[in-house]
Amino acid sequence: MNVPLSIADYERLAEERLESGPWAYLTGGSGDEWTLRENRAAFARWTFRPRVLCDVSEISTATTVLGTRIEIPVVVAPVAYQQLYHPDGECATARGAAAAGTGIAVSTFSTRSHEEIASASPGVLQWCQLYVFQDRGVTHEHLVEVAAAGCRAVVLTVDTPRLAQRERDLRVGFEIPSDLPLPYARAAIGDAPKNPADQFALLDASVSWRDLEWIAGESNLPIVLKGVVTAEDARLAVEHGAAAIIVSNHGGRQLDGVPATLDALPEVAEAVAGRVEVYLDGGIRRGTDVAKALALGARAVLAGRGPVFGLAAAGEDGVRHVLELLRDELTLALCLLGCTSPDELTRGHIQRTAT
């Protein structure tokens, strides 16, 4: 294949290079994978309303998230076990993200520590995605390092009190190698090979709204709640001091049958009413997807599978190129919509088509 022209091209390259287990984990969903498919299908249900005769001679895709400038409104979403996709794991992803002018949310099941990532890519915007283990001491140690390594926020994933049934993983017998470095999880899970469900069974299912204060106190960082899809929980997030919300259904990997994140976004954005920042993940494959999310109320999006396709296909350069493709496609979309920046996108630029 020549130089990839789209994330779909990188997806094909990644599939060719990966073994069946890591590929199933990366691309699969839960149950019948209805929500997984809906995350993509939703982008076809929303169409643009472009404006013409606007001065679009100069366009910027830059924005800010929690006060930090990024050159594209796309942050790399947390994806576990990245050494399975490239020997440099999250360090390569961070370097690619930094080269594209953005940052990375690092999974609790990262194969590299926050300190290693910071050393590999000095100054990169780093967020810590947090799962709370039953052994709160393990989580405490994680949060101590988060602050020391210069992370800017804690992204608490709130839709995973237990792992959903992911049948692709089970069919191929996917297990996490016992020698895979997991600096924030190995102390809790031990050294024996386990499948993801075994590992996630060690998370604390009792975590509730009252724990937000404990987490904030341990890290002294803003808390971003990942996994909100209803107005009710959006309002509670604001009341309990969250700095931002990620409208997320875990990439279609948790409760099958919940709506696509793009369809849930307007409800959450309306409930928040500008009091905290709102982001979206799930199904981002094109810069036009980013534009639709921004028009419906997101300040930025998080993309996970796309950058990891790039990581598997071409390491750091693949991650960078995937993000640059999204940037270039978003630039073109803004131009053709009559906008010069992400801030100019409004609900007036998009409409829901009949279903």
What are the residue numbers of the active site? 250
As beta bridge partners, residue 155 has 129, 224
- Angle between helix 20-27 and 305-337 (nearest 10): 40
Cα(237)–Cα(223) distance, rounded to whole angstroms? 10
Q: Give the distance, in angstroms, between the CA of residue 58 and the centroid of all CA atoms in the same chain.
A: 29
3-state secondary structure of 322: helix
Distance of CA 284 to the CA centre of its chain: 10
Where are the strands (E) in the chain, listed by range?
Answer: 46-48, 63-65, 68-70, 74-76, 104-106, 126-130, 153-157, 223-228, 244-247, 277-281, 300-303, 350-352
3-state secondary structure of 341: coil
